[in-house]
A and B are shown apart, each in its own frame.
Chain A
Amino acid sequence: MTVTHGFLWMLVIISAVAQVQVVSWHRNLLQEWQGTDRTRHELLQENTRLVLEKSTLTAHGRIDSLARKKLDMKEPEHTQVFR
C-alpha cells in the first residue's frame, strides 16, 4: 500500500514538474517564433522595397534616356547593321 502510494506521489510530482517545463518550453518557442516571424516580415519589407527600387532604376524609359543623353548612344542606322 505505502509503496504504491509513494510511487503515485512520485508520478504526480514528476508530471507536475514536467508540466511546468513544457509550458516554459512552449513560451520560449513562441518567443523564438515571434522573433523569426518579425524578421521574416522585415525581410519581406526590405525585399519588396528592393524589387520596386530595381524596377524603377531599370525602367525601360530611364535606361533609354540615360543611354541617349549620358552615354551619347544611338540606334544603329540601317546601313550600319551587318547582315
Chain B
Amino acid sequence: MSNTEETKVEGVERWRFALVLAVFALLLLVVAGRMVMLHTIEQPFLFEQGEKRTVRSEVQMASRGNITDRFGSPLAVSTPVVTLWVNPQQVDPRKLTSVAKMLGINSRELIRKVDRVARQGRSFYYIKRQVQPEIAEQILSQKIAGLYGDDDFRRYYPAAEITAHTVGLVNIDGKGQEGLELAFEDHLKGSNGSRQVVKDLFGNVIKQLGVDSVAKSGNDLALTIDLRLQYLAYRELKAIVQSHHAAAGSAVMLDAKTGEILALVSQPSYNPNNRATLKPQHMRNRAIADLIEPGSTMKPFTVAAALESGKYSANTPVNTSPGYVRIKNKTIRDHRDYGVLDLTGIITKSSNVGVSYLARDLGAESIWQFFSHAGMGNPGTLGFPGEAVSSIPYPEQLDDLRLSTVSYGYGLSVSPLQLAETYTSFFDGCRQHVSLLLEQVGSQECEPVMSKRTARQMLNMLETVVSLKGTGKRAAVDGYRVGGKTGTAHKIGRGGYEDSEYTAVFAGLAPLTDPDLVLVVVVDDPKGQEYYGGEVAAPVFSRIMDQALRLRQVVPDKPGKDQMLQVAGGIR
C-alpha cells in the first residue's frame, strides 16, 4: 500500500514540476520576446520619445540692428525684455494672483482666462509680452511651476514722434511695418540661432548636443538725418500747423551740395512707442508719400529754361499787361497788372502771365525736357514704402493751355522731397540725387540741368523774391542771403480745383553766396485769412533756416544794417 502511494505521489510531483517549469519558461520567453521587441521594432519610437523628454531645441533671439542719425544718436534701439507665458496644464491659477499684481493686470480676469484655456486642453498662454527684465526676474524667482520666461526684444524709439514717419515702426513680433523699418527689414533683422540641449529638472542646460545655427544680430543703419535739425524743423512745422489749423504739413531739408536729407518731418505725427494710440491717418509720411502740385515754386524752372535757350537774359522785358491772358477759353490771371517785367521781375512778382508767355515761346518739347532733367516725372529712388512717383504730362499732351499751366506748376505733381531735390540744381546747375542712408551718399552722379552761369543768375532772381518787394519777404533770415520761391496751389477736390482750399509752399536755399541748405515747407489746407505760401510757409522757412544755419555754424554772408562790427561773448 505504501508502495503504491509513493509512486502516486512521485507521479503527481513530476507532473506538477514539469508544469511549473513550463510556465516559468514561458514567462521567461515572454519577457525575452518583449525585450527583443522593445530593442528592435519599437526602438526608434522609444528613442525619439526619450529624446523628446530630455532634449530641447532652444531658440536664441537675435537682436535687431539699431537705426541712428548721422552722428550716431539712436533713433530706434532694441532692448532685451522677457515674455512671460504659462502652461495652463501645469500651473495652479491661484498662484498667479501675485504675478498679476506685479504686472498690473486684473488677477481675477487672468485666472479666469487661464482656467478657460486649460479646459480647452491648450498648453500655452501668454501672461504678458515684453516685460521689463527686472520685473520678470522678480516674478520668475518665485519659481511658480508652469510659468516660463522667454528672451525677447522690444523696440524703442527715443526720438518718438519727431522721426516717427521716417524711421517707421515694428509690430510686437519685431517685424518692420512702416517706414525704414519695413524698407530695410532684411538689413536690420538678424537671424535667430537654435541649438539642441539636454536640460535637467530645473531647466538648467547640462549638455549641448549640437548647434543648428548661431544667432546673428542685425546690421545697424545710419541715416543722413541730423536729429538736431530734425527736431527744430518738427517744432516749427508743428507750431504753424497748429496755429493755422492746417490739415497737414511737411518739411524737407537737404544738404544743397550733396543731396543728403538732413530733416524730413510730417504733421500730424504719432508716438511709435505707444501702439495703443496709433491712427492710420497720422502715419502717412507726407514729405515722401504725398503728391502736391508745386504751384509757383516751378516758375524758376521755366525761367531757367528761358535763360538756357539763349533767347533771353535776366533783363529781357516781357509785357504782362493787362494782367491776364485767355488761352482756349480759360483765363490765366496775375494778382494785378504788373505791366512790363523783366525775367527777374517775373520771378519776384510770381507772374503767371509772364511764365506762360515764356513757356509758349520755348515750346512744349524744350520745357518738358528741361523739367525732366530737373527731376519732374522721375520715380522715387529711396526705396521707401509708399514713395510717391512724380508726374508730368508728355510733350504731346501739352497743348497751349496745359503748357501754360505746367509753366507755373499746375497739372504736374511732385512730393515735397522731390521738390527739394529739384531745387538742389540751383546750387551749381547740377541736380543732386537725394539720399537717406549715409553709405549711399555720393553713390550717384548728379544730373546736369543748367549751366553754372544760369544757376547763379537764378539764385540772384530767387533772392529778389525774399526782398521787400517780393512775394516771400517773410522768408528772409537776418544775416544771410536767402533765395526761394513761394507757391500757393488750389487743392484738388471732387469737382476739380477747390476755391477755398490751398496748399501753401515755400522752397528755397541759403546762404546764397555758397548754398548750404535747401528747405521746402508745405502746409496743407491752412484755415483762416492767411493761406498764401508767402504768408504761411515763408515764415516757417525763415525760422527753420535761421536756427539751422546757426546750428551748422554757417558763416553769415549778408552784412547787417549797421555795418559796425560787434562782439558778443568773446571773439571767435
Contact = CB atoms under 8 A, between A and B. Distances in A.
Interface of A: 26-27, 30, 34, 41, 44-45, 48-49, 51-52, 55-56, 58-61, 75-83
Given A48-B78, A60-B228, A60-B232, A83 B565 contact: yes
Given A52-B158, A55-B73, A60 B80 contact: no
A30 B207 CA distance: 8
Interface in B515-572: 550, 555-556, 559-560, 562, 565-569, 571-572
29 contacts: A30-B205, A34-B205, A41-B80, A45-B79, A45-B80, A45-B133, A48-B156, A51-B77, A52-B74, A55-B73, A55-B74, A59-B231, A60-B228, A60-B231, A61-B231, A61-B235, A75-B550, A76-B568, A76-B569, A78-B478, A78-B560, A79-B560, A80-B568, A81-B479, A82-B567, A82-B568, A82-B571, A83-B479, A83-B555
B151 A79 contact: no
Given A27-B207, A56-B158, A49 B79 contact: yes
Contacts of B63: 44
Nearest to A55: B158
A78 B564 CA distance: 12
The 8 A-B pairs with the shortest beta carbon distances in the complex, nearest first, are A80-B568, A48-B79, A55-B158, A60-B231, A78-B478, A82-B567, A45-B80, A83-B556
Interface of B: 63, 73-74, 77-80, 133, 151, 156, 158-159, 205-208, 227-228, 231-232, 235, 478-479, 550, 555-556, 559-560, 562, 565-569, 571-572
Nearest to B570: A82
Given A61-B231, A78-B560, A81-B566, 7 more contacts: A30-B208, A51-B158, A55-B74, A59-B231, A76-B568, A77-B568, A82-B568
A45 B81 CA distance: 8
A52 B66 CA distance: 12
Nearest to B477: A78
A48 B231 CA distance: 22
Contacts of A59: 158-159, 231
Most central of A45, A60, A82 by chain B CB within 10 Å: A60
A33 to B, nearest CB: 9
Contacts of A48: 77-80, 156
Contacts of A78: 478-479, 560
A61 B571 CA distance: 28
Nearest to A44: B80
A9 to B, nearest CB: 28
Contacts of B208: 26, 30
B163 to A, nearest CB: 11
A80 B158 CA distance: 35
A45 B478 CA distance: 47
A61 B231 CA distance: 8
Contacts of B568: 76-77, 80-82
Among A34, A44, A51, max chain B CB count under 10 A is at A51
A52 B565 contact: no
Contacts of B235: 61
A79 B478 CA distance: 9
Contact of A80 (B79, B227, B566): B566
B207 A79 contact: no
B232 to A, nearest CB: 7
A45 to B, nearest CB: 5
B206 A27 contact: yes
B566 A52 contact: no
Contacts of A76: 568-569
Nearest to A77: B568
A57 to B, nearest CB: 10
B475 to A, nearest CB: 16
A60 B163 CA distance: 13
Nearest to A41: B80
A15 to B, nearest CB: 20
Contacts of B556: 81, 83
Nearest to B80: A45
Contacts of B227: 60
Contacts of A55: 73-74, 158-159
A51 B133 contact: no
Contacts of A60: 227-228, 231-232
A44 B495 CA distance: 58
A37 to B, nearest CB: 9
